[in-house]
Amino acid sequence: MSDDPAAEIEQGLKNLGDNFRQAFAGATAEQSLRDAHARVLGKKGELTQLLRRMGALPAEQRKVVGEKVNQLKAEVETAFVERLGAIERASREADLNATPFDITLPGRVPAPRGHLHPLTQVMNDVVTAFRDLGFVIGHGPEVELEEYNFTKLGFPPDHPATDMQDTFWIRPGLLLRTHTSNVQVREMLANKPPLAVVSPGTVYRKDEDVTHSPMFHQVEGFLVDEHVTFAQLKGVLNAFAERIYGPKTPVRFRPSYFPFVEPGAEVDIGCVFCKKADGSRPGCRICKFTGWIEILGSGMIHPVVFEHTGIDPERYTGFAFGMGIERVAMLRYDIPDIRLLFENDPRFLAQF
């Protein structure tokens, strides 16, 4: 250890100045220049190490050495900016003077083929299945009036679905639609029966975990005509299940409540994960060992919906159903976490 710490620090500053000038002059790439800069001024840089030793100096020496430190620091920063500019200019000149590319030449390696996102694939398959059954496609706005999203569908004003913790409200009376059933209302107001419409689209609810997302995709469908029965609803959904999950897929209906249908039913299919070769389904973790998985909600359209849309409930009846496309995709492809569908990791998407 030197008897004169101030002299030792000043000698260190002189050596550091000589070293950084040589390192900066020899840097021909931006990264090597930045590495040299970090070796001087980084958190563990040489100048930083010297600064830590200044605390042991007397106050009068500390001031003198501090001025020299600041001068060196300013010199390093100025030299870094100048050298970085020189490297960038040299790189630009090299690009301008290089042999130009002939963009008309064919590629040497065949470009990999792209493919549809799994949600798009499933959405297309679901819509095609209902289109083949005679339904037409309908669309509606994602930013919707409360009147079309709730009121005309028979939701009471105090229904839990209208609460702030469930619905994204933009302002009173205006919201991000919570289902594509708003299309049902708009179609009934704009057209007279018979009607058979499916409406695919994006919907929004305040819900997020491994099986729910605040933004997800839904397909809602309905049919209105004279003498429509629940048996026809069962026939349509049985045909749909076979198209999506394969022939002889078992389907069951369980009574349930939805504000805009009466009677209402949850629709389950036989678990596609624990199915054995003989067709039996002993149960697994995914179906909670029941052998059944819920895929959608359905029911006969409530007369109050007809009244709100100007359709005579004494003359017409109808049914409606709705499903989340993410759930259909997760069941089809055995995806454990809904968030994988939105992260767009190429390694995940390449599997489809």
Verdict on whether the full-model pTM lies above 0.75:
no
Domain spans in the chain, listed from the N-terminal domain onward: 5-97, 118-349
pLDDT level of residue 1 (50, 70, 90 thresholds): very low
**Torsion (CA) 282, 253, 188, 224 in degrees, nearest 10:** 120
Selection from 17-26, 47-56, 307-316 with the highest mean pLDDT: 307-316
Q: In what order do the strands lie in the sheet with 251-258?
A: 136-137, 195-204, 215-225, 317-324, 292-301, 261-270, 251-258
Contact 241, 249 (CB under 8 A): yes
43-to-35, 48, 218 alpha-carbon distances in Å: 12, 6, 52
Instruction: For residues 118 and 126, give the distance between their C-alpha atoms in angstroms, rounded to a whole number.
Output: 12
Q: How far is CA 308 from the centre of its chain?
A: 35
Contact 335, 341 (CB under 8 A): yes
Answer yes or no: is pLDDT of 296 > 80.
yes
Mean pLDDT computed over every residue of the chain = 85
Give 118-349's CATH code, choosing from 3.30.930.10, 3.40.190.10, 3.30.1370.160, 3.40.50.1950: 3.30.930.10
| Percent share of the chain, pLDDT over 90 | 38
Q: If we measure between CA atoms, which residue out of 91, 67, 78 comes closest to residue 24?
A: 78
